[in-house]
A and B are shown apart, each in its own frame.
Chain A
C-alpha cells in the first residue's frame, strides 16, 4: 500500500491508521469524508469523482511532506477514492499520528483544507433532476435540464 494514493475500491480506514501508528505516537486522528445525500434541500443520488491521477498522488504526497515539516513527529497517510460512490461511502481518508493529540487534530484538518485547494480531483453530483460538476457554479439544482 502506498501512503498517498488515489484508489477505486472501497476505503478501509484501519489500513491507514495502522500505517501511521508507531511507538512514538500517542495519538492517531482519522478523518473520513463521506458522500452526503442532502445538500441545502437537494437530494444527491450518487457522486462520481474523477482525478488527474499522477498529479493528484503527487500533490497528496506534497501535503504529507508539508505536514511532517510543520508538525514534528507526525506521520500521514491519505487516500481518495474515485469513480462512482454511493451515499455514505468514504470518499477520502486522512490518518495522522503524532506524539500528542493536538498536533494530530490540527494536521488532519490542514490536510483536508489543502486537498480542497491543490489536489486535482473533481466531483460530479448526480441529482434527481440532473447533474453538475461541483466547482462550476453557473448552474444550480432545479435550474438545469434533465440529462
Chain B
C-alpha cells in the first residue's frame, strides 16, 4: 500500500488528511491519473508529488510502503 498525504487547500478537495491506496508497482503518473479519477476537482496541473519527501518524476515507480505527498503551490516566507 502507498500512503497519501494531502496538504493545505488540497485537504478541502479530498476531505481528508491522508489515506491508503493500493498502487505499489505503478508509476507516479498513474498515481496522478488515479487521484483525478477519485477527486475530479483536484487541481493536478498545479500540484507536485513528492515520494518519501523528495519531488518525484512521473516515471518513478511506487514501492510498497512509500509515502506520496500532494504538494500544492508553496507559499512560505
Contacts and interface: CB of A to CB of B under 8 A. Distances in A.
Interface residues of B, number: 17
Given A58-B53, A120-B71, A133-B72, A91 B77 contact: yes
A52 interface: yes
Contacts of A58: 53-54
Interface in B21-65: 43, 50, 53-55
Kindly name the residue among A54, A120, A136 whose own CB sees the greatest number of chain B CB atoms within 10 A. Answer: A120
Given A52-B7, A136-B9, A116 B53 contact: no
Given A133-B8, A133-B9, A52 B71 contact: yes
Kindly name the residue among B53, B71, B77 whose own CB sees the greatest number of chain A CB atoms within 10 A. Answer: B77
Contacts of B72: 122, 133, 135-136
Main secondary structure of the interface of A (DSSP, over half): mixed
A117 interface: yes
Interface residues of A, number: 27
Interface in A72-109: 80, 91-92
B9 to A, nearest CB: 4
Given A55-B53, A55-B69, A120-B69, A134 B7 contact: no
Contacts of A123: 75-76
A53 to B, nearest CB: 10
B77 A135 contact: no
Contacts of B71: 52, 120
Interface of A: 33, 49-52, 54-56, 58, 80, 91-92, 112, 115-124, 133-136
27 contacts: A33-B77, A50-B7, A52-B7, A52-B53, A52-B69, A54-B53, A55-B53, A55-B54, A56-B76, A80-B77, A91-B77, A92-B76, A112-B77, A116-B77, A119-B74, A119-B76, A120-B50, A120-B69, A120-B71, A121-B77, A122-B8, A133-B9, A133-B75, A135-B72, A135-B74, A136-B8, A136-B72
